[in-house]
Amino acid sequence: MRKLTYFLFAGLLLTGVSAIGQQAKTPPTLKSILLQQFQNTWNQQDWFVPISKAVEGLTAQQAMWKPSDSSHSIGQLTYHLLFWNRQSLDKFNGKKPAAFDGDNNETFTAFTEATWASTVEQLNQVMKDWESAIKNSDDAKLQAWYDTIAHISTHNAYHTGQILYIRKLAGNWDSNKGVK
């Protein structure tokens, strides 16, 4: 319960309720907090650049570039996000997710230059489906899943930051889109 209280407090701060009593027009709900956090990591830019904007306009060749041999490429990071968002969405919807042997390294390796456009398209669809799932869920389902959904948003933001850093290193990020 303490975890939920902390999460709701953090969400209230993110949605406009401050410690000095300024309130947003509509009091936030668990659904509105989860939805806003998710959208901010997918396609609605607020405090940081969302994944849709981070990969927008990249060529397959740019998505393949790595700053070093030990790093992941943007394509690999994007595929990793697709994999984990799809796995979680399938579980959320009561579907059996794709087989996974537990080796997280495999979630980065299915990307190729030839699959770049498809990877981005599939990620956008999975994210759209996640948004709909959150919007259409009842409170009981969100109570059971709030921790996972919050972690998904954090995970998406973390890897989006890596993507932006790689784009900046490669010299193909337009700082007018967000991060300077």
pLDDT at 103 over 90: no
Domains of the chain, by residue range, sit at: 29-177
> What is the per-residue pLDDT across 104-155, written as a single tens digit (0 to 9) for each?
888 888 788 899 999 999 999 999 999 999 999 999 999 999 999 999 999 9
Using alpha carbons only, what angle is made at residue 146 by residues 145 and 152, rounded to the nearest 5 degrees?
Answer: 90
> What is the per-residue pLDDT across 22-80, written as a single tens digit (0 to 9) for each?
555 889 999 999 999 999 998 887 888 899 999 999 999 999 999 887 789 999 999 99
Write down the pLDDT at residue 13: 47
Domain 29-177: CATH architecture, name and number where available: Up-down Bundle (1.20)
* Closest by CA position to 132, among listed 54, 39, 12, 45: 39
